Amino acid sequence: MTKLGTAFLAAMVTLQVVSGLSERPAAYTTAIVVALATCATCFAAATAGPRRAVAALAGAVAVGYMAELVGVTTGFPFGAYHYTGLLQPQVAGVPVAVALAWGGMGLAAHAVAAAIAAPGWRRIAAGAVALTAWDLFLDPQMLRMGLWVWEHPGPYRDVPLTNFAGWLLVSALLMLLFERLLPTPGRALVTLYTAMAVMETVAFAAVFRPTDPLVAVTGGLAMGGLATAAWIRMRDPNRSPAWQK
């Protein structure tokens, strides 16, 4: 399963590069997310087994979809927003790719948290922060492409601060789910998280036009710092990853 996951990781990276250079990057978004979710599921299956991995992804997708559905309907917990018609297919105004993204990156963020924090509330909090750190890249990028619109733009590249509070809440729910299903996520998922951190940082720093140093630095420090902490913990011969405690 690890080899298959690596193949989908390579596909995701390739699609990200093509998307970053394309005049119509939104056309690649769904394919990128499918590759991301499949990669994460394969990596999770390598340590927890296919049944648990698929159940974890499916549960996370369901939670993510319900959070988005409530969000576009009521404005809670992220703030008032709506999706445009660019990202298809959609179910009740929520793109399927968005729900898949919650699951795929949720699995990767949980692996990072599991490497640096012992089971319990600390790991749940670390995972919520790790997944929310990704949105420091995601929201500015998706707003550039016109995939969704905030009714009341905020201070971070038009993203309101309520959005990040909502991400922390939903991410914590995902971490609770993963704690039950994936006690030993493994380092391959940390590789996925790291690859995403590197790609997004390089994209905002040098590829996207115009570039955005603020997002590159902010997201890079957040995701990169967490990924670095996980790798240090896993590579230190005197300290095992927290999931082995």
pLDDT at 237 over 80: no
Q: What distance, in Å, lies between the first and last C-alpha atoms of the chain?
A: 25
Q: What is the pLDDT of residues 60-76, one digit of tens each?
A: 999 999 999 999 999 99
* Residue 34 · residue 87 · CB < 8 Å: no
* Residue 194 · residue 232 · CB < 8 Å: no
Q: What is the pLDDT of residues 84-97, one digit of tens each?
A: 999 999 999 999 99
Could you tell me which residues are beta bridge partners of residue 156? 159
Most trustworthy range by pLDDT among 10-19, 20-29, 104-113: 104-113
Query: Nearest to residue 194, comparing CAs of 164, 244, 228, 241?
Result: 228
* Residue 43 · residue 186 · CB < 8 Å: yes
pLDDT at 245 over 50: no
* Residue 78 · residue 152 · CB < 8 Å: no
**Cα dist. 70→18, 28, 116, 118, 163 in Å?**
33, 26, 32, 32, 13
Question: Could you tell me the pTM of the whole model?
Answer: 0.95
Domain boundaries of the chain, sorted by first residue: 2-244
- Give CA–CA dist 54/41, Å, rounded: 6
- Give CA–CA dist 78/96, Å, rounded: 18
Looking at residue 35, what is its pLDDT? 97
- Give CA–CA dist 60/173, Å, rounded: 9
| Share of residues in the chain with pLDDT > 90 (%) | 86
Q: What is the pLDDT of residues 153-211, one digit of tens each?
A: 999 999 999 999 999 999 999 999 999 998 877 899 999 999 999 999 999 999 998 99
- Give CA–CA dist 76/162, Å, rounded: 9
Query: Nearest to residue 171, comparing CAs of 139, 219, 137, 129?
Result: 129
Looking at residue 211, what is its pLDDT? 95
